[in-house]
């Protein structure tokens, strides 16, 4: 194996990293940390809300590292059931389970000399967390159904949209794995805390989606920008990106105008189905009562509990349908773990 050469770009205080948008104080600190940690082999934990760009930072860490010429392999831990995820990460041998008709190389093996990015690592089960801890500490594992030990030289960058320490305290995540991952932590700021970057992001996405759709929408209306900078962006950059694409497609001329923004951004919509959690469900429940949509025979707390349960059941049913019945995907969208979702499905008779 040839010696790994240091990256050409290693200035900790240099300009924004290519491929990343934003020049405000929050993002400049992210660029500094990214460059600084990229040069090491240490595990990195990326924390931040959904849509803040954790995968982009993971790719930048890999690209700027001595491993930049090696493979970058991404695994979405929240998208697969436990048995499939174990095979995806570590591979399997023929006949190890139903459907295993050939040997398969896992993602850790495929990322040898490079970086493996474990997205939504908070979704992993206790069994998988044991195997992850071993590969982080010993750099070795066995394929599913095999006894031969495989050694790898793979750097791990993990990401979570939840506070893993809170998950540890709730016994949903192993404490030893948390501390093994938490060598270096980079917390990405939500878009509402870097509003100064919104104009640059909008201009960037206008160029991208104008090109992709063979359209010409190079400008945005000042009042449209005012509305976007006043909005809190619960879906962060990903939500902004979607709305800019929508505006480009619907624009009658060459300008992104305020009327092309959805009602939520303009403050005319209280919440979005599929994102509601906790207090949002309660708010929706009271709105249903005010509108006379939901009736119940009990009073006070019983009425409130009944309405919230009905709203919660409908929300879970909608999200499960949108996720084609994939529980791990639905749980991630609802912001709950898979065990909680399973209990709710049984409680509301939605197992099928």
What is the tens place of the pLDDT at every residue in 28-37?
A: 999 999 999 9
Residue 257 is predicted with a pLDDT of 95
Q: Is residue 303 part of a domain?
A: yes
pLDDT (tens digit per residue) in 39-92: 999 999 999 999 999 999 999 999 999 999 999 999 999 888 877 898 889 987
Q: Is residue 8 part of a domain?
A: no
Same domain membership, residue 124 and residue 35: yes
* CA dist., res. 148 & res. 3, Å (int): 27
Same domain membership, residue 139 and residue 165: yes
* CA dist., res. 244 & res. 337, Å (int): 31
Residue 306 is predicted with a pLDDT of 64
Same domain membership, residue 238 and residue 90: no
Provide mean pLDDT across the span 132-139.
94
The CATH number of the domain holding residue 100 is: 3.40.50.300
Provide mean pLDDT across the span 207-232.
94
Q: Say yes or no to pLDDT of 139 above 80.
A: yes
Residue 136 is predicted with a pLDDT of 94
Domain membership of residue 330 as a residue range? 279-347
The residue with greater pLDDT, 298 or 152, is: 152
Residue 94 is predicted with a pLDDT of 76
Q: Say yes or no to pLDDT of 21 above 50.
A: yes
Same domain membership, residue 340 and residue 245: no
Q: Which of 204-218, 223-237, 291-305 bottoms out in mean pLDDT, i.e. has the lowest?
A: 291-305
For residue 348, report the phi and psi dihedrals to the nearest 5 degrees.
-95, 5
Last residue in a domain, options 157, 189, 221: 189
Residue 347 is predicted with a pLDDT of 83
Residue 281 is predicted with a pLDDT of 46
Residue 80 is predicted with a pLDDT of 82
Same domain membership, residue 310 and residue 201: no
- Please spell the DSSP secondary structure of 182-217, one letter per residue: TTEEEEPPPGGG-GGGHHHHHHHHHHHHHHHTT---
Percent of the chain with pLDDT over 70: 82
Same domain membership, residue 201 and residue 185: no
Residue 308 is predicted with a pLDDT of 66
The CATH number of the domain holding residue 294 is: 1.10.10.60
pLDDT class for 191, splitting at 50, 70, 90? very high
Same domain membership, residue 232 and residue 165: no
115 touches 61 (CB < 8 A): yes
């Amino acid at each position: 194996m040839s010696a790994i050469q240091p990256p050409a770009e290693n200035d900790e205080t240099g300009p924004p990293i290519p491929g990343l948008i934003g020049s405000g104080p929050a993002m400049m600190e992210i660029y500094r940390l990214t460059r600084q940690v990229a040069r090491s082999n240490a595990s990195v934990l990326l924390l931040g809300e959904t849509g803040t760009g954790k995968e982009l930072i993971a790719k930048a860490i890999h690209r700027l590292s001595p491993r930049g010429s090696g493979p970058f392999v991404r695994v979405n831990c929240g998208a697969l059931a436990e048995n499939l995820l174990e095979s995806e990460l570590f591979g399997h041998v023929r006949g190890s389970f139903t459907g295993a008709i050939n040997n398969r190389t896992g993602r850790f093996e495929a990322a040898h000399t490079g970086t493996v990015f474990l997205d939504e690592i908070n979704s992993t089960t206790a069994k998988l967390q044991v195997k992850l801890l071993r590969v982080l500490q010993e750099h070795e594992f066995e394929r599913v159904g095999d006894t031969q030990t495989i050694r790898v030289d793979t750097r791990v960058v993990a990401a979570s949209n939840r506070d893993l320490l809170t998950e540890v305290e709730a016994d949903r995540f192993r404490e030893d794995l948390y501390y093994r991952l938490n060598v270096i932590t980079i917390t990405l700021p939500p878009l509402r805390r870097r509003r100064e970057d919104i104009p640059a992001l909008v201009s960037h996405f206008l160029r991208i989606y104008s090109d992709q759709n063979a359209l010409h929408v190079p400008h945005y209306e000042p009042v449209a920008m005012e509305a976007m900078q006043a909005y809190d962006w619960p879906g962060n950059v990903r939500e902004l990106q979607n709305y800019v694409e929508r505006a480009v497609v619907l624009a009658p001329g060459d300008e992104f105008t305020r009327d092309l923004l959805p009602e939520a951004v303009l403050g005319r919509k209280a919440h979005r189905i599929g994102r509601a959690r906790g207090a949002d469900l309660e708010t929706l429940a009271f709105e249903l009562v005010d509108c006379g949509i939901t009736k119940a025979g009990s009073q006070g707390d019983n009425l409130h509990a009944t309405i919230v349960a009905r709203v919660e059941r409908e929300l879970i049913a909608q999200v499960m349908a949108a996720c084609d019945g994939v529980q791990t995907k639905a749980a991630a969208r609802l912001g709950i773990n898979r065990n909680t979702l399973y209990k709710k499905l049984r409680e509301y008779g939605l197992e099928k």
